[in-house]
Amino acid sequence: MATAAIYGCAGETLSSDEAAFFRDADPWGFILFARNCGGTKQIVRLCHQLRETVARNAPILIDQEGGRVARLKPPLAPRRPPMDRFGELAKLDPEKAKEAAFLGAKLLAEDCRNLGIDVNCVPVLDVPQPGAHDIIGDRALSTRAEMIGTLGRQVVDGSLAGGCLPVIKHLPGHGRALADSHLELPRVTDDREELEEVDFAPFRALADAPLGMTAHIVFDALDPDRPATLSGTVIRDVIREGFGFDGLLMTDDLSMKALTGRFRDRAEASLNAGCDVVLHCNGEMAEMTDVAEGAKALEGEAARRGDAALALIPRDRPDFDRDGAEARFSELLRPVITV
């Protein structure tokens, strides 16, 4: 039985220590970063090595959003625009924006699947607010909550059409954060009514997504003592009951500096709060070993959600007219792309 964890690895090949750790820890999945991606054949081989350690077709994740968040860079995959371009296009032609968002997500998914990667951590559903930290910025689909929900639906559907599971992030919303949670713990002081009307709306609209990722942010109006990742109140009352989200819920990276304390404690607290799976990204063996001590078997409702998500990944992909898709995508975005 897999454990409720997703791990990264240190480099482009697995060390004997990493392989032994993954065999023993048996994580639900893995995640790749730029440090793991040196060449096409190498990435395919690494994906095979990772799955071989757990003796099953475990999901392999990546953050391939386009723009500044792209772990696969040319020549591994084409350069893609940031997703705010879809929102800019929507101001000119909403229907073309929807087509572009779908096609862009499908192309991203095809880029990933060609290398053996089958989960792409898109879309960002955060609603950026004036004065907030730019960690979200042009990663957001729009500045309007309703349009983020509309375009986010296209990104979810396009990802699935391209053979990758999408991950909605960062629940329940990162758009108001005044700090980067990679570096420190943000605190949002806005009232519940404002959050419900704006920040939560895109997540409610896409509550049927198969996978979601939490935000390491304290919301005073929800739980002033714990960040969302560690808050049973936020996960149970807001994400599960309020949004109606029944997909597999993973933490954001446990090694981000927004969280403190031992990694075992971070993992235990996240799972006890209601997260289904913990995510640890940097490949540091000592940290992963500590996380593994706090991780538990993926069972019950969490296992059901994980199985339901994996069942959506098509193992046989239909023929795809990449040249035609690339040409159409460029044509659609021409009005909002500046060279």
Catalytic residue set: 182, 252
Contact call for residues 248 and 217 (beta carbons, < 8 A): no
Question: Whose structure tokens read 């940031």?
Answer: 82
CA–CA separation, 176 vs 18, rounded Å?
Answer: 38
Q: What is the Cα Rg of the chain in Å?
A: 19
Name all contacts of 15-21 with Cβ < 8 Å and 24+ positions apart.
17/285, 18/283, 18/285, 19/49, 19/53, 21/285, 21/288, 21/289, 21/292
Pairing state between β 69-70 and 64-66 = antiparallel
Q: Is the dihedral of CA 331, 147, 211, 228 positive or negative?
A: positive
Query: Of 45, 11, 34, whose CA–CA distance to 115 is shortest?
Result: 45
- The torsion angle over the Cα atoms of residues 198, 202, 203 and 205, rounded to 10 degrees, is 120
CA–CA separation, 23 vs 56, rounded Å?
Answer: 11
What are φ and ψ of residue 250, in 5° steps? -110, 155
67 alpha-carbon distance from chain centroid: 15
Q: What is the DSSP letter of 219?
A: E
Q: Count Cβ atoms within 10 A of the Cβ of residue 180 and give its class: 0-12 exposed, 13-18 middle, 19 or more buried.
A: middle
Contact call for residues 36 and 72 (beta carbons, < 8 A): no
- The torsion angle over the Cα atoms of residues 31, 176, 228 and 260, rounded to 10 degrees, is 70
CA–CA separation, 162 vs 106, rounded Å?
Answer: 4
CA–CA separation, 95 vs 98, rounded Å?
Answer: 5
